[in-house]
Amino acid sequence: MTNEARTWGAATLAHLQSWVGRTEILNDDIAAAPVRGLSATLDRSDPAPAPGTPLPPLWHWLYFLPQPRQSLLGPDGHAARGGFLPPVPLPRRMWAGGRLQWQADNPLVVGDAVTRVSRVVSVTHKSGRSGDLLFVLVRHEISNEKGLALTEEHDIVYRASAAPGDPVPPPTMADLGSLWHREIVPDDVLLFRYSALTFNSHRIHYDRRYVTEVEGYPGLIVHGPLIATLLIDLLGREMPEAQVLSFQFKALRPTFDLQPFHLNAQPSADGRTVRLWAEDHEGWLTMQATAALA
């Protein structure tokens, strides 16, 4: 037994790791209404979606939404743990990043009937300067009637609540200068609309008293998936004909609603990849990503 396992508790870790291999199958329809809603939320002037309209990259996050009964929600607004995902005994839960790959010859389109097969790939414990961390990796495969359309690996991290005097990981300064740039003002309305579109009741995004007094953050947290969507939306605004084949992103630092933040993108010399990143108002790197194009 390692020191790490002894610190965490070998029995607890083994119990959580028994979720590895657990599978969930969900069905949904790519309806037009969520597409209209996200287009408005991102301040786009898209034509009204119709059957056959391709779904922009990452907009599949509007579907397969967890919808637990109100009585089954935990104190943080998420569903009580212990269903498909393991019952991690750490209060903070964050979407830490992911890797996605689209099938170029089979895009998701409005009107598709789709199936998502999800599997817990790994449950890993680490002990760092800021305390215990538990990482859960989930793999999703989304298919329509033509077959596999999208594969996604989703990284989830759990951590303890903040305590006075806890060490803070040193931030990384974002690169200076980019070919494309956009400023975003993450006000309460933007966060509300994205939470509503994704049926996300996690209180860190709308309950200021909870997020500051219970989880110890200075303000409402901007959804990681929203920042990733805004990054790839920046790419789409600058290269509207580009077809994204793969996308990977990693959240490095929380973004709060207290100040504007900035999106940046820099295409490679051959135009086959685009490096994207987000930074806060102080210039600290908050998310980094890479998109590969057809």
Q: Residue 183 corresponds to which amino acid? A: E
Strand ranges inside the chain, DSSP E: 23-29, 92-102, 113-128, 131-144, 147-159, 180-184, 244-251, 261-267, 273-279, 285-293
Continuous segment of H or E residues that includes residue 232? helix 224-238
The pLDDT of residue 8: 64
Kindly report, residue by residue over 39-74, the tens digit of the pLDDT: 999 999 999 999 999 999 999 999 999 898 998 888
Report the 10 Å Cβ neighbour count for 68. 14
The pLDDT of residue 72: 86
Q: Residue 105 corresponds to which amino acid? A: D
Are the C-beta atoms of 227 and 250 separated by less than 8 Å? no
pLDDT at 291 over 80: yes
The pLDDT of residue 157: 94
pLDDT at 5 over 60: no
Domains defined for the chain, CATH in brackets: 3-293 (3.10.129.10)
> Cα 130–133–138 angle (5° rounding)?
150
Mean pLDDT across 186-195: 96
Question: pLDDT band at residue 158, thresholds of 50, 70 and 90?
Answer: very high
The pLDDT of residue 83: 82
Q: Among 116, 99, 119, which residue's Cα sits nearest to residue 19?
A: 119
Q: Among 137, 159, 166, 179, which residue's Cα sits nearest to residue 264?
A: 179
**Structure-block tokens of residue 90:** 């750490």
Are the C-beta atoms of 205 and 187 separated by less than 8 Å? no
CA distances from 55 to 20, 105, 109, 124, 190 (A): 31, 14, 5, 33, 21
Are the C-beta atoms of 265 and 231 separated by less than 8 Å? yes
Query: CA 187, CA 183: separation in Å to the nearest integer?
Result: 12
The pLDDT of residue 161: 76
The pLDDT of residue 6: 44
CA distances from 105 to 29, 126, 148, 244 (A): 20, 40, 10, 12
Kindly report, residue by residue over 94-146, the tens digit of the pLDDT: 899 999 999 999 999 999 999 999 999 999 998 876 678 999 999 999 999 99
Q: Residue 293 corresponds to which amino acid? A: L
**Structure-block tokens of residue 291:** 């998109």
Are the C-beta atoms of 277 and 285 separated by less than 8 Å? yes
Q: Among 225, 240, 230, 224, which residue's Cα sits nearest to residue 184?
A: 230
Mean pLDDT across 214-228: 95
Kindly report, residue by residue over 256-275, the tens digit of the pLDDT: 999 999 999 999 999 999 99
pLDDT at 225 over 50: yes
More confident residue, 160 or 142: 142
Q: Among 170, 183, 172, which residue's Cα sits nearest to residue 285?
A: 172
Q: Residue 136 corresponds to which amino acid? A: V
Query: CA 248, CA 243: separation in Å to the nearest integer?
Result: 15
The pLDDT of residue 2: 42
The pLDDT of residue 170: 85
pLDDT at 3 over 70: no
Query: CA 196, CA 57: separation in Å to the nearest integer?
Result: 19
Q: What is the sign, positive or negative, of the torsion defined by CA atoms of 205, 210, 216, 218?
A: positive
Question: pLDDT band at residue 93, thresholds of 50, 70 and 90?
Answer: confident
